Amino acid sequence: MEKQFLIDAFAKGEAWRLFKIIGEFVEGIETLHEIGPAVSIFGSARIKPDDPIYKKAEEIASRFVKQGFAVMTGAGGGIMEAANKGAAEAGGKSVGLNIVLPFEQKPNPYANIRLEFKYFFIRKVMLIKYAMAYIIMPGGFGTLDELFEAVTLVQTRRIKPFPIILVGSDYWGGLVEWIKARLLADKRIAPEDLEILKVMDDPEEIVKTVKKIVII
C-alpha cells in the first residue's frame, strides 16, 4: 500500500520520487498549455446541489464560459462540481484537477479535461499558473489555503497581480473586517494589500470585473 503522507515519506535513497513529481509537472503543463484564458473557482466540497451557493457557482462558471474563459477547479464535489457542471453545460472547457486523497475527494463527472495529482503543491501551481482570476466561493481550510497562497504571491510580486474575488459578503465579510481590525491596524500588512481582495455577490458583476482587468 502506498504511503499516505507523501511529503513526510521522503527519505535518504528515495530521490527517485522526484521523477514522479517531474512527471506530474510535465503532464500538467502539456495538458493545460492549450486551454486558453481561464479562471480557477474554489469552494467547499461539502456543499450539496440544493444549496443556493451551489447554484451560484454553476451560474458564475456558465457566465465565464460564455465570455470565452475556461473554468478550472479541483475536480471534487460541492462547489467544484457545480463550477465544472456550469462550464460543461454551457459548452465550454471544464477543467478538473483532481487530488488523490484517502477520504472526501472523488472526481466529479462534469470535467471534460481531467488531470490527477498526488502532490498538492503541483496542483496548486497548475491552478494558479493557468488562471487569470481566482473566484473564491464559501469553503473551509482548503479554500482558505488556496486564497491566502494566491494573496501572498501577489503581495510579494512572485506572480502578476490578478483578480482575487471573494464571493458572498455575508460569508467573507467577517474575515475581511478581521483583516482590517488586526492585520492592518497592527501594521502586519500595508493598506494597499487590502486592494488585492474584492468581495462581491452578483455573478454578472463578478464576470464583468474580471473582463475589465483581463484582456482575452
Question: Considering the domain boundaries, does residue 48 fall inside one?
Answer: yes
Question: Considering the domain boundaries, does residue 188 fall inside one?
Answer: yes
pLDDT tier at 9 (50, 70, 90 boundaries)?
A: low
Residue-wise pLDDT tens digits, 29-83: 999 999 999 999 999 999 999 999 999 999 999 999 999 999 999 999 999 999 9
Question: Considering the domain boundaries, does residue 182 fall inside one?
Answer: yes
Question: Considering the domain boundaries, does residue 2 fall inside one?
Answer: no
Domain that holds residue 180: 38-213
Question: Considering the domain boundaries, does residue 127 fall inside one?
Answer: yes
- Ordered DSSP codes for 162-211: --EEEE-HHHHHHHHHHIIIIIITTTSS-GGGGGGEEEE--HHHHHHHHH
In this structure, what CATH number is given to the domain that contains residue 138?
3.40.50.450
Q: Which residues pair with 197 in a beta bridge?
A: 164
Is residue 105 over pLDDT 70? Answer: no
**pLDDT in the model for residue 100:** 84
197: Cβ contacts below 8 Å, ≥ 6 apart: 151, 164, 165, 166, 176
Specify the number of domains making up the chain.
1
Question: Considering the domain boundaries, does residue 93 fall inside one?
Answer: yes
If one compares 61 and 102, the residue with the highest pLDDT of the two is: 61
**Single pTM value for the model:** 0.90
